[in-house]
Amino acid sequence: MQRIPAENRTGDAKRRYARGLDGLRALAVLMVLVYHGNEEWLPGGFLGVDVFFVISGYLITDQLCAKWQQKGGLDLTAFWVRRVRRLVPAVLVVLVVATAAATVVKPSLLSGIGGELLAAVTFTSNWWGVVSGASYFSQFGDQSLLLHLWSLAVEEQFYLVWPLVLLVVLRLVRRRSARACIAFAMACASVIAMIVLHDPGADASRVYYGTDTHAFGLLLGATLAIAMPSQWLAGLKRAGASVLGVLGLAGAAALAFMAALLSGSSEFLYSGGFGLVAVVAGAVVAAAIPAAGWFGRLLSWQPLRWIGLRSYGIYLWHMPVVVLFSAGGLAVSDFLFVGLVTAVSLAAAAVSYRWVEQPFRRNGIRATIRRLAAPSRTGDTRTGPAVLTGGVVVLLLLAVTGMVLAPPKNDLQSQIAAGEDAAGTTPLNSSPPPPVAPSAEVPAIQGTQVPAIEERRVPGTGVTAFGDSVMAAAGTALRERLPGANLDVKIGRQMWDLPELIASERDSGRLGSVVVVGLGTNGDFNTSTLERVIWEAGPQRAVVLINISVPKEWQDRVNAKLADAEARWPNVTVVDWRTAVQNHPDVFWDDDTHPRNPNGTDLYADLVVEALPPQVK
């Protein structure tokens, strides 16, 4: 094959470059940023990661196929070196700075950080999340500084394996349609793997993190690149590009709709919904590429492009910023919190883009290090290497100090895990008695002192309790006091997850005569959501709502809604956990939210038992 001159190859690359994809990257990273900043605003914002997957799968495959057409082969070593230059330096900087910052802000954030750091530098964070049981959708407690790197790990594993697979396909299969079918079949296999391996009602981390079960976005992007190369899409005439633009706009609206309505606990996503998201994202990607298309020009708006070009850095930095701000007790409104997170993340990404990503990407690792180490003169003083070296040494010392002095793997996590195990044990009597009328004699817990409640053990038969990590932390104590109760706890559970769960338990005959709800810690909810919870339980069942004590802006709003429900519904009782512990921080772990064993957990369990109607005691 005739060798294409370098200048022509550069021109081809420029013609293939689609500015609209920069804007799409910007929208995707902003979705994720808002999700982590305040899940209540955009409960499905994590779908932005799936948009990234489709974009990445498309671009990488498009570049490799173009190289194949030009040269009749692929230099995979050069490809992998470019990936290392592009991704690794920025990650290493984030790891050092985030660890050093956590040492200053809250050293307990570094509990067990060694395994996470090793997973991050080996691009296996997704499998670390599976093995360690770190739920991506747990929105409370001390979140991991590095958990978001799971998606980078999936991409890197894809970059390692997919070029080898593609090389074989390109050599053995000549028809483009057949090549696309192979990639599409692999994408479908990944979707099917997610559907088959997902256990409804259980934590979805395994199928969410797994490369095998979450590679479909990358593979669908690859399918699109084989079927519709960027050079072909870019050359579409205005009429075709306009039609594709309408499809892209509809796809973007569908993505926004799903991001607003779906959450990490939506079973629809794990039953093929994620695959649908990838297909829709593929349509948006295709629509963003044509040079003559209005949709691509819309996404090429300069502010969006600026963010999109720095989206990798924004994604890397935003999660440590969210975690550090939260751990530092930043007491501001939700709006200001998200605004500050956005501003700091964009600023950090801009610095990273200018001084880390671009130099290493353009000049290579060795040349960039030599340039950074080259002296710059201020008068007769050589300051460049000294300042750089000094800053690196300080950051490394802080990071290492934090890792050495960090407490062992969070005891709170161990307590929650034990509580989950206790809650998950089969109750002594799993057949609830018939629903009973709610009693007007349920005591209200008031006052500012911790009530001196005698520890009581009652059968608990007929009690069904739903909770999040707070109830899970007290799971062992609850099981001891209510051996016959059905305890259903899940880290990160939200109030809006509950109506369907209650309906399912009710329709299957497993819902007890008393429904205990311990939710709200992870975020606010609409009054209509709480009304539906009570409605699904039915007027013949007593509903016991446990209010929350959490150093978050939504605490008072949540508790006010629970109190209002108690005033409106005769079968509703509120356990005033907030008042009971208000002046007793010693009952909490250092997150001021989860009850500490034994004082906090015993108190929590005793308050719940005291609030139960006498019919089930």
Cβ atoms of 341 and 314 within 8 Å: the answer is: no
Query: 45 near 31, Cβ under 8 Å?
Result: yes
Q: Where are the alpha helices (DSSP H) in 262-310?
A: 267-268, 274-288, 294-299, 302-309
Distance (Å, rounded) from C-alpha 347 to C-alpha 349?
5
User: What is the average pLDDT across 447-475?
Assistant: 73
pLDDT at 331: 74
For the chain, give percent helix, strand, coil, nearest 5: 65, 5, 30
The 8-class DSSP code of residue 587 comes to G
Q: How far apart are CA 20 and CA 26, in angstroms?
A: 10
User: What's the whole-number mean pLDDT along residues 82-89?
Assistant: 94
Q: How many CB atoms lie within 10 A of CB 557?
A: 13
**Beta bridge partner(s), residue 463:** 514
- CA dist 470 and 474 (Å) reads 7
By C-alpha distance, which of 320, 261, 332 is closest to 36?
A: 320
Is the bond preceding 598 in cis, omega lying within 30 degrees of 0? Answer: yes
pLDDT surpassing 80 at residue 101? yes
- Band the pLDDT of 382: cuts 50, 70, 90: low
pLDDT value of position 2? 34
Amino acid code (one letter) for 139? Q
Q: Where are the alpha helices (DSSP H) in 262-273?
A: 267-268
Per-residue model confidence as pLDDT tens digits over 525-570: 889 999 999 999 999 999 999 999 987 767 898 999 999 999 999 9
Instruction: Kindly list the distances between the CA atom of residue 66 and the CA atoms of 72, 196, 353, 447, in Å, as whole numbers in the listed order.
Output: 9, 36, 27, 72
DSSP 8-state class, residue 353: I
Segment 199-215 mean pLDDT: 88
Burial of 299 (C-beta count, 10 Å sphere; 0-12/13-18/19+): buried
Owner of token pair 């974009």: 55
What letter does residue 573 receive in the DSSP assignment? E
For residue 154, give the nearest of 221, 72, 215 by alpha carbon: 215
Q: What percent of the chain has pLDDT over 70?
A: 86
Q: Which one has a higher pLDDT value, 314 or 366?
A: 314
| CATH superfamily for domain 412-616 | SGNH hydrolase (3.40.50.1110)
**pLDDT-wise least confident of 356-370, 496-510, 513-527, 534-548:** 356-370
The CA–CA distances, whole Å, from 439 to 362, 543, 571 equal 73, 11, 8
Name the band, by pLDDT with cuts 50, 70 and 90, for residue 201. low
59-73, 77-91, 279-293, 386-400: range with lowest mean pLDDT: 386-400
Question: Which residues have a Cβ under 8 Å from the Cβ of 424 and sit 6 or more positions away?
Answer: 487
Three-state SS at 214? coil
**Residue 467 near residue 412, CB atoms below 8 Å:** no
- Residues of the chain with pLDDT > 90, as a percent, come to 64
* pLDDT score for 455: 55
Do the beta carbons of residue 520 and residue 547 sit within 8 Å?
yes
Across 193-207, 371-385, 415-429, 466-480, least confident range: 371-385
Taking the CA atoms of residue 277, residue 166, residue 161 and residue 157 in that order, the dihedral angle to the nearest 10 degrees is: -30
CATH 3.40.50.1110 intervals, the chain: 412-616
Sorted by sequence, the CB contacts under 8 Å of residue 117 that are 6+ apart come out as 95, 99, 146, 403
CA–CA gap between residue 12 and residue 15 (Å, rounded): 5
Residues assigned a catalytic role: 469, 591, 594
**Mapping DSSP to helix (H, G, I), strand (E, B) and coil, where does residue 467 land?**
strand
Q: Helix or strand or coil: residue 457? A: coil
- Taking all residues of the chain, what is their mean pLDDT, rounded to a whole number? 86
**Mean pLDDT to the nearest integer, 602-614:** 93
3-state secondary structure of 442: coil
* 373: confidence class by pLDDT, cuts 50, 70, 90: low
Q: How far apart are CA 242 and CA 287, in angstroms?
A: 9
Q: Kindly state the tokens that stand for 447.
A: 């006052």
| 8 Å CB contact between 445 and 575 | yes
Task: State pTM to two decimals.
Answer: 0.76
Strand partners, 489: 467
Q: 257-294 burial, b for 16+ CB within 10 Å, e for fewer? A: ebbeebbbbbeebbeebbbebbbbbbbbbbbbbbbbbb
Would you say 17 and 66 are in contact if contact means Cβ atoms under 8 Å apart?
no
Which strand ranges, in their side-by-side order, compose the sheet holding 463-467?
Answer: 486-489, 463-467, 514-518, 542-546, 572-575
Please report the pLDDT score of residue 457 as a whole number: 59
Kindly report the CA angle at 508 between 503 and 510, in degrees rounded to 5?
90
